[in-house]
Amino acid sequence: MGENHERIIFHVDVNSAYLSWTAVKQLQYGENDIDIRLIPSVIGGSEEDRHGIILAKSIPAKKYKIQTGESIVDALKKYPDLKIYPPDYSLYMRCSNAMVELLKEYTPVIQRYSVDEVFMDVSHFKDKYMEKAYEIKTRIKEELGFAVNIGISHNKLLAKMASDFKKKDSVHTLFKDEIKNKMWPLPVRELFMVGKATEAKLHKLNINTIEELAKYKLEFLKPIFKSYANVIHNYANGIENSVVRDSNYINIKGIGNSATVKKDICDREEALKTLLSLTETATMRLRKNNNMCGVIAISIKTSGFYRYSHQKTLRNITDSTEEIFHEVTTIFDEMWNKEPIRQVGVRFSNLVGNEFYQRTFFDDKDIDKKRALDKTIDSIRERFGDESIIRSVFINSNVNPLSGGNGEDDYIMMSSIL
C-alpha cells in the first residue's frame, strides 16, 4: 500500500451524457438540424407516464438554473421554450460500450462506475499522463462524437472530484498539493458523499466549505455522523485509497425492479399483477446471473409520496419465479395499508451462487420441475423475444407482462461506493 501515492487514476466523465448521446444520434440520422447541446434543452421522462423529471440538461439549460431530478413542470416555469427529448436507454448503453472499448486500448484496469463514468488505473503512463489524457479526450470526440472531462489524481476520489470541475470538455488534475486551491474553496455539498441531509447537518455546525470540513475536529463530527464522520472527513482531506476494480469481478448484492404506474393502484389484484410482472423480469435477471436469493423485499410509494417497505428472509434460498412470487404475495398482503399506490418494487438480496444448489437438490422432484420450467421459459424468451411467452393473467390486461429492465446487456454498477 505504501506506493499508493504513485498511482495515476483517470476518471472519465461524459459531459451531459444522455443529452450529448441523443444529440449525436439526431445529427447522425438527420433527425434534427440543430445540435441540442447548443440550445436550452433536456432529456426528460414522459409526463403522461408520470415519469416527468429531468434526466439530463444542456449547458444553455443550466444557465436557467434547470436541475437534474426536478420535475419537467418546474423546469418549464424557468424556461417555457425548453426543448424536451425522451431518453433512449439502449442508445446510451451502446455509446457507453463504445467508449469503454476505446478506453480498454489504454489499460485493462477499468471500472465502469455508471453508464457515463469510468475509472482507469493508468499508472503505467508515468509522466506522460497529460498527453495521454488529451489523446483519449480527442479520440472520443473525433471517433464517437461527444465530449468528456477527464479528472486525474493519485486516487479515485480526487480524480472524480477533478472531472467534476466546471470547465467541460477538459482535462483537470487534482493532486494533493492542489487540494487547497482547487477543492477546498468549494461548497461542502460538492464533496462526494455529502448529500442534502448531510449538508444541512454540516451547515448547523457552520461548516460551509470543504476546507471547513477538512479542518473540523473529527471527534466533534463523530457523535453526529457516526461512522460517516470518518468517511467525509477523510474525503474532505483527499484521503481515499480504494483500487480500480475490474467491473467483471464485482459481485452484485441485490437485484430488483420497480415501476411507477400510470394511474394509482387501488385494488389488490392489480397490485399483484404489477408485482408479478416486476418479479418475472427480476427473477430472469437473477437466473441469468446464476444467483439465488435469500431475502425478498417489497417497497411501496403511495400517491402521497410516503414510502415503506417490508422484507422477508426465506427458509430456503430460491430462484424460482413461482416460489418467489408466492412470497411476494404474502409480504404484500401483510404490508399494504390500502393507500393508493404510485410505485411498487421488488428486490432480491442475500444472493448466493446457484452451483451448490444445483448439486444438492438435483433430485428433488418439485424444485426440479419449477426450475426446469423457469429455464425453459427463459430460453424461449431469449430466442423468440420477451413477449413470446406471457402469463395468462396478462391477457386482456393493461399491465405490461414484463416490466422493468430485463437485464439485456446490463453491466455491474456500484453507485455511492468507490
The catalytic residues are 117
| Stretch touching DNA by CB under 7 A, among 31-39, 41-49, 165-173, 373-381 | 41-49
Closer Cβ to DNA, 132 or 245, answer by number: 245
* The binder of DNA chosen from 59, 186, 390, 413 (CB under 7 A): 413
Inter-residue contact 296 to 331 (CB < 8 Å): yes
Contact at 8 Å (CB) between 192 and 183? no
Task: Kindly state whether residue 247 participates in binding DNA, applying the rule CB under 7 A.
Answer: no
Q: Is 228 in the site for DNA (CB under 7 A)?
A: yes
Q: How many other CB atoms are there within 10 angstroms of residue 206's CB atom? A: 8
Minimal distance in Å, beta carbon 41 to DNA? 18
Closest CA to 66 of 82, 49, 50, 86: 82
Length of the chain: 418
Piece in contact with DNA (CB under 7 A), picked from 207-215, 250-258, 355-363, 374-382: 250-258
Chosen residue from 145, 254, 270, 390 binding DNA by CB under 7 A = 254
Smallest separation (angstroms) from DNA to the CB of 369: 27
Q: How far is Cα 229 from Cα 224, in angstroms, rounded to an integer?
A: 8
- φ/ψ of 367, rounded to 5, equals -65, -40
Q: CA 113 to CA 415: how far, in whole Å?
A: 7
Interface with DNA, residue 121, by CB under 7 A? no
Please state the closest distance from residue 407 (CB atom) to DNA, in A: 7
Question: Is residue 343 a contact point for DNA (CB under 7 A)?
Answer: yes
b/e per residue 359-380 (b: at least 16 CB within 10 A): eeeeeeeebeebbeebeebbee
Tell whether residue 114 is a contact of DNA (CB under 7 A).
yes
Q: Is 40 in the site for DNA (CB under 7 A)?
A: no
Read off φ and ψ for residue 13, nearest 5 degrees: -130, 120
176 touching DNA, by CB under 7 A? no
What is the rounded CA–CA span in Å between residue 327 and residue 312? 8
Out of 308, 361, 362, 384, the residue judged to bind DNA by CB under 7 A: 308
Residue 105 engages DNA in binding (rule: CB under 7 A): no
Dihedral angle at the C-alpha atoms of 163, 24, 56, 409, nearest 10 degrees?
-90
The answer to whether 285 contacts DNA (rule: CB under 7 A) is yes
Asked if residue 115 binds DNA (CB under 7 A), the reply is yes
Q: Does residue 309 belong to the site contacting DNA (CB under 7 A)?
A: yes
For residues 224 and 206, give the distance between their C-alpha atoms in angstroms, rounded to a whole number: 14
Member of 25, 83, 182, 310 binding DNA (CB under 7 A): 310
Q: Which residue, 40 or 87, has its beta carbon nearer to DNA?
A: 87
Mark the segment that binds DNA (CB under 7 A) among 139-147, 343-351, 373-381, 386-394. Answer: 343-351
Among residues 97, 349, 397, 400, which is the contact residue for DNA, using CB under 7 A?
A: 349
- Compute the C-alpha angle 33/71/163, nearest 5°: 70
Q: Enumerate residues 6+ apart whose C-beta is below 8 A from 263.
A: none
Binding part of the chain for DNA, among 120-128, 150-158, 251-259, 363-371 by CB under 7 A, reads 251-259
- Return the closest-CA partner of residue 346 out of 358, 356, 332: 332
What does the binding site for DNA look like in residue numbers (CB under 7 A)? 45, 47-48, 50-53, 55, 68-69, 71-74, 113-117, 160, 192-199, 226-228, 252-260, 262, 285, 295, 297, 304-305, 307-313, 335, 343, 345, 347, 349, 404-405, 413-417
